[in-house]
Structure 1
Amino acid sequence: MSDVPAASAASGRGTRPSWRAGDTSPLRVPLPPAGPAWFPTVMGSGILSTLVALLWSEYAAGLGVATALLVVTWVLLIGLTAGFVRACRKDRDFVGAALREASQRPAWGTVSMGVMSAGSAASTVLPAWSEGLSGVALGVDAVLWTLGTVLGLVVAVDFAAGLVARLRKVRSRRPGPMGLEPGGSGGLGTPTPVWGLTVVAPMVAATAGCTFIPHVSSTAAKVALLAVIVVCFVVALALGALVFAAAYHHHWRREPLPLALRTSLWIPLGVVGQSTAAIQLIAARGSELLPESARPGILHAAHLYGIVVLGAIGTVLAAYASVMTIAGFAQRMPFGTGWWSLTFPVGTCALGAFYLGQVHVEAGWHVASGVITGVLACTWTLCAVATLTAVALTRKA
């Protein structure tokens, strides 16, 4: 989901495509090394595994597909982590650049989401095989959720601090779009939807964290966990609104989005889908701690939020992203890890629809979730084939 130039910065690779004159293949571009830039593959695989298990685990074929995707998710998670550690051991400057450069912040946001996605997939799929695996799966999920939440909040707060510092710096000068200079914030460049990767992770943490509430025994612990979840929700929603408003404003009023970043227009759907799922679970779990008279109002508000945000805003954003992406493919948009933006954000919308149907007992939303998951399966397959092809071409070069 991160763009190729940003993802390759830490490796010292150039950002210009490496094809020769006359070569119009959309797959001949520099690929970043194993590490944060590739974690969108973990995100997309993990959420597809989770959705297939949620929707079709009662069928042997569905459980088999979910399990296969879970294996893929964990192989990617372990392999990319090992590859990044190996690269850091060989070159100390590599890890320094990955941590210092502002252009790497979106990539670290995907690491946070990838880690949590792998944990959620494990805690959803493994208990479907055997109840005896529930405790282990939940423990693994809790560890990964904690790591992902801390990393996601650090990335989001760090990005927000850089943005505020930049805004203060330009107060005495003529500001650019949304108060930002054309040069962007702290080396991130001009505002694009890729910036959103720095703020979506806390919303993922909010959704995933709700699954632990039923397993917490004491009321005080439930309240504390719910407070963390609400903080994550508010941080992601507030920063997401600012970042995406700046990105769309710049895209529509200042300059068109570069061809290679067309798929990043799907990233805002990550906030749309995850916030819909999160608010349903927060309302359902949180209302249990409130007087019974307050529960209907809270659930109704969550339902209304889902209809407006997912049903209305999400539909418009998805339609616009579809048109722009199809046009990008027609113009031979080069392959990059950003293509995986076609997976996880779509999956979050399916997840939001699933929990709307589950919490409010509305079959129509479950049908919508199944349809969106089918779309996700298609985009995941497209990205997987394109990735394998790109890697094969790179090795031959």
Structure 2
Amino acid sequence: MIRVSTATPTRSRTTPTPPPSLRTFLRELRRPGQVFENITPNWFASVMGTGIVANAAAGLPVHVVALRGFAVGVWLLATVALAGLTVAFAVHWARHRDRARTYADHPVMSQFYGAPPMALLTVGAGTLLVGRDVIGIHAAVAVDFLLWTIGTLTGLATSLAVPFRMITRSDRTGVTALPAWLMPIVPPMVSASTGALLLPHVPAGQARLDLLLACYGMFGLSLFIGLITMTLIYSRLVHDGLPPVQAAPTVWITLGMIGQSITAVNLLGNAAGSALGQPFADGLRVFGLIYGVAMGGFGVLMFGLAVALTVHAARRHLSFSLTWWSFTFPIGTCVTGAAGLGTTSGSTLIHATAVVLYGVLLGAWATVATHTLRGSVTGRVFLPA
């Protein structure tokens, strides 16, 4: 039997939180504070995906005033997003420590701890490439040095800590090679390519040479372990088929490794002359050309495969989730890789490819950003997956 109280309710001096059905903003959450419960590290992929739109625009072989202004605006958006997510992530760890630790121990979600370092590196590079129009070159260099240093150190720590925890974990249930395994491996490669942008701003001599060699070392670190991991991923896909439909967009992460490596080796090769004498500088430039063309051929194959697998998943009712940000940063690295390779080779065709890919990037970013904004307003994206 249900008892109905006949007592007269007392008036509260505080205004109660309206029920979800009566709220417009965050209406799908029980309370606004629930926003911080599930701020997982993969949220930083949105900063990566937004920042790469600005960075890629700066490297295109076209010079349009409106494009430069657009890049500055997107860089500002990425900067604000990075600051906001950093605060939200800190609140998440402070208020929901047990849940945060659960995510950190998860065999898949833990891989995305590679995203925060790459977000720092992406925004830092954008500050130097386009942000200097707003804050000046000296401030831009200082900010980029700071973000590059923090991003590089945390990225190197992640590339070691995450595989170590995977190797030593006692529970091996459900552990299988996934594209997400590349997330903690790619940050050193991003450090290598963004470090190349800093070379002209480092004092000539030993300091510049040391930075160049450190960038090539991080390039090798990320490349070799990345190729091993991509082999495991490809084998897993061929033998076991696609991951769950909602995880299908993560297949694009493989392109991030490919595109970023082409970007790094060409930026470093073109900048090596300021730190090394001949014939070493010319040799590194030639290496960038040969590597870029060879890896670019592999990238064409993986791009086509990623498109086909995405269409396959879309036909099976692929719905929006934060994994859709996997479409953006990898395509952006293909743009920067093609632009760098086109500059090294002098190929108009490769430069044209970079422009076309940038158009694809804009379409992907606009689509994913719109869905994310809509989900943020309703609160849906803050719910656990």
- Report what 1:201 is aligned to: 187
- Aligned equivalents of 1:339 and 1:159: distance in 2? 23
Is the Cα contact below 8 Å between 1:209 and 1:229 reproduced in 2?
A: yes
Amino acid at match of 1:228: A
Contact 1:160–1:239 (CA<8 Å) still a contact in 2? no
- Residues 254/58 of structure 1: CA separation in 2 closer, same or farther (3 Å cut): closer
Alignment correspondent of 2:116: 111
User: What's 2:143 paired with?
Assistant: 140
C-alpha distance in structure 2 between counterparts of 1:223 and 1:92, whole Å: 43
Distance 1:293 1:354, change over 3 A: same
Provide the residue aligned with 1:365 in structure 2: 350
Asked if the contact 2:260/2:333 (under 8 Å) is kept, the reply is yes
In the superposition, the TM-score normalised over structure 2's length comes to 0.83
Q: Following TM superposition, where does structure 1 have runs of at least 4 consecutive aligned residues deviating by more than 6 angstroms?
A: none
CA contact (8 A) 2:40 2:103 kept: no
* Deviation (angstroms), 1:291: 3.7
Matches for 1:287-298 after TM superposition, within 5 Å: 287-298=273-284
CA contact (8 A) 2:61 2:351 kept: no
Q: How far is 1:100 from its partner? A: 4.6
Q: Do 2:200 and 2:274's aligned partners in 1 also have CA atoms closer than 8 Å? A: no
Q: Which residue of the other structure, out of 65, 71, 84, is the alignment partner of 2:70?
A: 65
> Distance in 2 between the 1:291 and 1:118 partners?
32
Contact 1:35 1:81 in 2 (8 A): no
One-letter amino acid matched to 1:219: G
Instruction: Output the CA distance in 2 between the equivalents of 1:260 and 1:99.
Output: 20
Matched with 1:124 is 129
CA RMSD for the aligned pairs? Answer: 2.7
Contact 1:273 1:351 in 2 (8 A): yes
Matched, 1:42 2:28: no
Query: Counterpart in 1 of 2:243?
Result: 257
Whether 2:252 is the aligned partner of 1:266: answer: yes
Secondary structure of 2:60's counterpart equals helix
Match among 348, 362, 366 for residue 377 of structure 1:
362
The whole-number CA distance in structure 1 between the counterparts of 2:94 and 2:279 is 58
> Which residues of 2 match residues 26-105 of structure 1 at below 5 A?
33-55=38-60, 58-105=63-110
Q: Could you give the per-residue CA deviations for residues 121-171 of structure 1, whole angstroms, max 9, x where no partner exists?
A: 1111123x36x70111111111111111111111111233345557xx9xx
CA distance in 1, matches of 2:241, 2:212: 41
Query: Quick one: structure 1 residues 341 and 280, their matched pair in 2 at CA, closer, same or farther if it must change by over 3 Å?
Result: same
Which structure has the larger Rg?
Answer: 2
Matches within 5 A, 1:201-240: 201-240=187-226
Give structure 2 stretches of 5+ with no counterpart. Answer: 1-33
Sequence identity (%): 28
For these two proteins, the number of residue pairs brought into alignment is: 350
Change (3 A) 1:290 1:87: closer
Give me the TM-score of the superposition, normalised by structure 1: 0.81
Query: What does residue 312 of structure 2 align with?
Result: 327
What are the ranges of 5 or more consecutive residues in structure 1 without an aligned counterpart? 1-29, 170-180
